[in-house]
Structure 1
Amino acid sequence: MTIFIVTVAIIALLFALYLSTSVLKESMGNDKMKEISVAIQEGAMAFLNREYKTMLPIAIVIIVLLILFTEFGIASAIAFAIGAVFSALAGYMGMYIATRANARTTNAAQSSLKKALVIAFKGGSVMGMGVVGLGLLGVSLLYIFVAKGNPDMIPAIDSFAFGASLIALFARIGGGIFTKAADVGADLVGKVEAGIPEDDPRNPAVIADNVGDNVGDVAGMGADLFESFAATSIAAMLLGSTLLGSTGVMLPMMLGACGIVASIIGTLFIYTGNESNPQACLNRSLYSSFLLSSIAAFLLTKYMLPDHNLAFYIAIQVGLIANIVIGKITEYFTSSDFSPVKKIAESSNTGAATNVIYGFSVGLESTGMPILVIIAVVAVAYFVPGGGEYGFYGIALAAMGMLSMAGTIVAIDAYGPIADNAGGIAEMAGLDPKVRKVTDQLDSVGNTTAAIAKGFAIGSAAITAIALFSAFAQRAELKTLDVLNPVVMVGLLFGAMIPFLFCAYSMRAVSTAAFDMIKEVRRQFREIPGLLEGKAKADSKKCIDISTKAAIRQMILPGLLAPVSIFVVGFGIAIFSPENALLAIGGMLVGGTASGVLLALTMANAGGAWDNAKKYIEGGAQGGKGSEAHVAAVVGDTIGDPFKDTSGPSLNAVIKVMGTLSLIIAPIIAGMIH
């Protein structure tokens, strides 16, 4: 089985290489389109390189600590390093192609919507295959060469998930700060103050905005779901190793491998059909991957778990179904086809205040149904296999079922920024308005798929966090958490506070960076003669530099908040009472997961709803562009930008980094008891 798993992981990476080659063969269009695309490429790669260099000293310190203080020493350090490097590599691969697929998509849009869709989706699929391929390859190779294929040695490789978590946390925060500083500056000064269109080449922040789409929604989302894939795999392997031995370890990896095969086949469905409906094409890919993953799960459980096959199949299947259901719920609350977004647009007629109030209420309301779905998944996955250890393993398999579709979900998500960039390039290059209509059609679908992918990321993060908590409880030898115990209650409240503090710091970082961006755009409009008249060229490199420096500087504090809190609380209390330290960490994980998931859903869905309400008005509703409702909607969308693209999605990484770090320190503190 291990040979099959490694082979599938390599096939995923080879398929990503094939897709990359296919995209790069396409024409980038005229010189102006090439110039704009290269500027986006250079800005995105420069930011990513600086971000990774900034994280390197932190990673080195952690490697030294792992060698000195963990049970498995060098093995744990190797696993951490591979997790971090593979996560960074996945982001780099995805963004390299995404920033080269944009102009090619624009050029294809001049002749065919379907061709433009295929190029954009191929570009996104490179990210999808990179995430699942590297994730499965890392886990399987560590199991073979570090754990030596011994189920009892799984704890030696659990820091792989922590390495992935650390990169994902900073990728989400840094990318989110970058993109929203540029977006807010471009919108408030360009669209509201100067009254020029979106993606107008006269706006110096437009290139930075397009760079931000890639560092936030491609590299950031890729790192986020790579982390989920790694953390869920490790948690399921840990729980399965004590319950079912090698079979319990192999099943999660086999699910991941079969999910990759399903995603590759699902990718091929993008080419079928003659209709020019991008959403229908993407849906075919999604639903075919779902169906194939379901069939594979049934066959795997029947073959590998003959005594429990139906119960564990049901656990996996509810995870798969949750993907579709959470996606539909997210679409309802964030798509302009449904009443929540239309009512936000209607509320914009009475000003920005009513737009913001109604939009925030939609975000709050949107938490209800996804949480009920998550509750149902946890309940079914726990009780159907029989509860206890079998139930916790069932929860981990449900999370693995969700993430078996990660290749397709990431591909659909990464398609969005490519389509968005394609529209920006069409505008900046002065192409025929018909081209922009085609790219706008692709982009409108991308907005919906981005919101659905965020819902998937949050839902999978919640189930992953529960699986990580189960693994932590096993390693810490915790049987119960008594909320009447003040240590548990204090830990719970402290953990619940962390997502709120994190959002405060990350939102403030966007505000600070956006302030600098706004000043720079205003300065250029004021000081560069003829810029607003289209007779001079904007200095876009200055705006990219502002976003880059601000993101790198501002990401450190929120990025360190969660891991440092777990570390300080755990070892601070362990000095006096190791037993209470484990109880406090358990409380922190419960509180952080509960508040983090709810806050993430609120912010991501409110931001998505505000964004699409603005686009709905720009499409002609409520007076259209330039109306009072439009001005109000732009304000709401600007507030929603850091909600949906910085703080909200970054909370996924926050709750998972708490869980992966707890797995590492639990045995250290438990050893202090004995």
Structure 2
Amino acid sequence: MSKLEFNVVFFEVVSIIISILAFGAAFWLYKWVASQPSSNKRIAEVGKLIRNGANTFLAKEYKTLSRFCVVAAIVIFIFLPSPIWNGHPLGNILMAVSYLFGTVFSGIAGKVGISIATIANIKSAEASTKGIKPSFMSGFRGGAVMGMAVVGSSLLGVTLVLLLTDNTTALLGFSFGASSMALFAKAGGGIFTKTADISADLVGKVELGIPEDDPRNPAVIADNVGDNVGDVAGMGADLFDSNVASMAAALVMAAAIDKVKGGTINVSMVFCYAAIGLLASIIGVLTAKMDEKGSPTKALNSNTYVTMIIFGVLTALATVVFRFEWRIWFASAIGLFVGFIIGIASDYFTDDTKKPVHEVAKASGSGPAFTILSGVSYGLMSTLPSMIGIGISALAAYKICAPLGEGYAMFGISMAAVGMLSIVGMIISNDAYGPIVDNARGLVEMGNLGDKALEITDSLDSAGNTVKAVTKGFSIGAAGLTVIALLGAFISEVNGAAAEIGKELITGFDILNPTVFFGLLFGAAIPPVFSAMLMLGVDRNAQRMVDEIHRQFREIPGLKEGKKGVVPEYEKCIAIATSGALKELVPAGLMTIFATLIVGFIGGVQAIGGFISGNIVSGLIFALFMSNAGGLWDNTKKYVEAGNNGGKNSETHRAAVVGDTVGDPFKDTAGPSINTQITVVSLVASLTATIFLTFNLFG
């Protein structure tokens, strides 16, 4: 074994060790959260309802998705990477097994998140009676279990696939498994959670003027269940997918460069940086703290900054020690810095201390039409800085790395994506903290723990909403860079297949070519159609649930008045959300996959290049717009509820609630699902590159 060959095995072993350390940190955090005191019977009772509802939905969702995954694995076995009748069955078996491996890892990530979130919400709620610090630590460390488990399993999965198969195409199969599972999990969880949230708000707040988490509302438990299945399990699968896709794209290009130049230095660098990113997140999570008089928002953000600095310093040291290319280090550092800038831009448009929220609250005084109009306008405006940031990071990484030789320019972009997602362990920890403390706030209200505890959990919930905008900025920006890198991986796959069958290699896609332009237009149309299908699913499901809430208030004596001993039929609303989500989640995902295949068979690889490009640009704009507009409306509602512009139960408040109900499926269903949709398109294209090169009408 040569020294260069030893390097990559060394870094693969180190990656496995650090992944195991992450699992150890997750286990310790889990035990710490579980050991926190809880004795309130009412909170335990409601917490059990939430946990059972979340686990029931997840079991039914995974059962539905397992059928899809088995069918997909059979199709992959027959056709990918090349039709099995071509005489290379081992490659097809590796691809199918890698795909199933990716789906299983992604599913486990969601299950781990549900398991801890439904414990941490109870602990955080009860800790609020002792002060903000213990309540914050229970919520954050609960989220950190998810962060450590997701990133540990993504790094471990990628490392094992490459170590065992030594096949980067199998790595794309693993990534496709993670992406397809994430696409349906995020869509299904998003439809569930926003069905319940919208229904609870419209009937509870707008019609009856009762508090957000009033136990009289039949949809309130379904709403809390939704926080877990959408914002925890779905989000975990989403970021697991993004992390795997960024590493897969980087490794595909690194391996292609190493094959030409000899050695394994670039593959080693990818593993080294990814492992250091996870190590930095472990250190950041375990050292995170908050003072009793501190700000939860400041604590969450400072934890992120500390992790960023640790990653930057350790990767610089590794670059010196292992003689990696400094230009690639700069590319990854640019990605990380731009992720931070995108997060700040998203924060400006959604933070309730900033001008956009105040302006939308002011506009709400004139009615809901102005709430929607102003929110849409600011949401559209918010896309510019983020799109420019993604563009600048891609351009800078490309230009910095281009002098290193052929293939390095696109590899630089992929390493910028790896850099942006390097601290994904901390990002997930912050993101999962949000729904945990949101649930805790509801439990405090339903458990009658007092105004002081409610004030504390309101503060924690507000911080979760503010930080969520920053973390979503990171994830959307990283998705942008990742899919640009996947476009490079697609070109690598096409050229590898073209060289084998004697076809002309491609270097890029000319939009003046009508075949490319056809794909470009088709690809740009997919994100809006995909978004519409998901939001129509929420619309149809929410209407059914609103009817059920009205029925219960009408038919259950004493429910509306809150008579002692009268309890709503919570399980009916949970059942409506579950059945509707499972019914609606599959069509949108299948539409995305079939559209990619149709374009490929019509126009070949040139049309697919245009298709991916159009899908990237349109998808990023829609994801940013819907995420930021939804966050803006959510925090406008909270800003008004805090006593501004008329306060609760005013006309301004009613208009702000309407804005929030529109924004809910924007920010928590369609917006984040688009990240996964564009990744799925890119991976399907890369995996089927050989087929499109051989079989097409006009390519």
Identify the match of residue 609 of structure 1 among 625, 632, 645.
Answer: 632
Structure 1 residue 537 and structure 2 residue 553: aligned? Answer: no
State how far apart, in whole Å, the 1-side matches of 2:396 and 2:292 are: 40
Q: Please tell me the residue identity of whatever aligns with 1:549.
A: S
Deviation at 1:276, TM superposition (A): 2.7
Of 68, 77, 92, the match for 1:67: 77
Equivalent position of 1:150 in the other structure: none
> CA offset at residue 192 of structure 1?
0.6
Contact 2:297 2:466 in 1 (8 A): no
Give the gaps of 5 or more residues in structure 1: 148-152, 574-579
Q: Corresponding residue for 2:507?
A: 479
Equivalent in the alignment of 1:523: 551
Q: CA deviation at 1:253?
A: 1.9
Deviation at 1:280, TM superposition (A): 2.1
Instruction: Look up the match of 1:632.
Output: 655
* Distance in 2 between residues matched to 1:614 and 1:178, nearest whole Å: 21
Give the 5 Å matches for 1:595-606. Answer: 595-606=618-629
Tell me if structure 2 keeps the 8 A contact 1:75–1:157.
no
Map 1:574-653 onto structure 2 (within 5 A): 580-653=603-676
Aligned to 2:110: 91
Partner residue of 1:577? none
Which position in structure 2 is the counterpart of 1:212? 226
Deviation of residue 143 (structure 1)? 1.1
Instruction: Measure, in 2, the Cα distance between the counterparts of 1:240 and 1:36.
Output: 51
Matched, 1:43 2:53: yes
Matched, 1:201 2:221: no
| Equivalent residue letter for 2:408 | Y
CA distance in 2, matches of 1:210, 1:182: 8
SS of match in other structure, 1:484: coil
Q: 2:114 is matched by which residue type in structure 1?
A: M
For 1:274 and 1:37, locate their aligned partners in 2 and report how far apart those are by CA, in whole Å: 26
Bigger shift: residues 82-91 or 447-456: 447-456
Aligned mate of 1:566, from 581, 596, 609: 596
Question: What letter matches 1:367 in structure 2?
Answer: T
1:273 offset after TM fit, Å? 4.5
- Which of 425, 445, 451 is matched with 1:407 structurally? 425
Q: Is the 8 A contact 1:191 1:197 kept in 2?
A: yes
Residue in structure 1 matched with residue 12 of structure 2 by the alignment: 2
Q: Does 1:550 align with 2:573?
A: no
Which deviations, in whole Å up to 9, do the C-alpha atoms of 1:374-410 show, x marking residues without a partner?
1110011000112651110000000000111100000
Aligned partner of 1:462 in structure 2 is 480
Distance 1:657 1:32 in 2: 43
Matched, 1:370 2:386: yes
Deviation of 1:28 (Å): 2.7
Shift of 1:284: 2.3
Counterpart amino acid of 1:656? T
Structure 2 contact 421–474 (Cα < 8 Å) conserved: no
> What's the counterpart of residue 523 of structure 2?
495
Corresponding residue for 1:380?
A: 396
8 A contact 2:192–2:581 mirrored in 1: yes
Which residue among 512, 533, 536 is the counterpart of 2:540?
512
Tell me, yes or no, if the aligned pair for 2:161 and 2:170 is still in contact at 8 Å. no
- 1:640 and 1:213 mapped to 2: Cα distance? 15
- 2:338 aligns to what? 322
Give CA-to-partner distance per residue, 1:622-663, whole Å, 9 cap, x none.
Answer: 110111111111111111110111111110010000011111
Aligned residues: 660
Please point out which of 95, 105, 111 is paired with 2:124.
105
Report the Cα offset of residue 156 of structure 1: 2.7
Amino acid at match of 2:145: V
Give the secondary-structure state (helix, strand or coil) at the position aligned to 1:81: helix
Shift in CA distance, 672/557, structure 1 to aligned 2, threshold 3 Å: closer
Q: 1:171 aligns to what?
A: 185
Aligned-partner SS, 2:407: helix
- Following superposition of structure 1 onto structure 2, how do residues 216-235 of structure 1 map, counting pairs within 5 Å? 216-235=230-249
Q: How far 1:135 sits from its partner (Å)? A: 0.2
TM-score of the superposed pair, with normalisation by structure 2: 0.93
1:623 is paired with a residue whose SS is coil
Is the partner of 1:384 in helix, strand or coil? helix
CA RMSD of aligned residues (A): 1.4
Quick check: 2:386–2:477 contact (8 Å CA) kept in 1?
yes
- Listed as ranges, the gaps of 5+ residues in structure 2 are 1-10, 82-90, 496-505
Residue type matched to 2:199 in 1?
G
Q: CA deviation at 1:672?
A: 5.5
The residue number in structure 2 matching 1:185 is: 199
In 2, the alpha carbon distance for the partners of 1:213 and 1:502 equals: 22
Deviations 1:464-501 (A, max 9, x none): 11010111012112212111111111110000010011
Render the CA deviation track for 1:150-174: whole Å, top value 9, x for unaligned.
xxx3223220100000011001100
- Which residue of structure 1 aligns with residue 264 of structure 2? 246
Whether the 8 Å contact between 1:297 and 1:317 is mirrored in structure 2 is no
> Cα–Cα, structure 1 residues 237 and 671, in superposed 2: closer, same or farther, change >3 Å?
farther
Work out the CA distance in 2 between the residues paired with 1:88 and 1:300. Answer: 33
Q: What do the CA deviations read for 1:40-73 (whole angstroms, capped 9, x no partner)?
A: 0011111111111111111111111222222411
Tell me the residue number matched to 1:576. none
What is the aligned counterpart of 1:144 among 163, 178, 194? Answer: 163
* Aligned AA (2:265): T
Contact 1:301 1:312 in 2 (8 A): no
Where 1:380 maps in the other structure, the secondary structure is: helix
Distance 1:171 1:262 in 2: 28
Shift of 1:189: 0.5
Please tell me whether the aligned partners of residues 349 and 628 of structure 1 are also in contact (alpha carbons under 8 angstroms).
Answer: yes
Asked if the contact 1:297–1:316 (Cα under 8 Å) also holds between the matched residues in 2, the reply is: no
What SS does structure 2 have at the residue aligned with 1:385? helix
Question: Within 2, Cα distance between the matches of 1:161 and 1:624?
Answer: 47
2:356 to 340, 347, 352: 340
| Cα displacement (A) at 1:240 | 0.5
Q: Deviations over 1:337-389 (max 9, x none)?
A: 10001100000011000111000001000000001111110011000112651
- Residue deviations 1:546-573 (CA, integer Å, cap 9, x gap): 0000000011111211112112322x32
User: Offset of 1:257 from its aligned partner?
Assistant: 0.9
User: Displacement of 1:272 after TM fit?
Assistant: 5.7
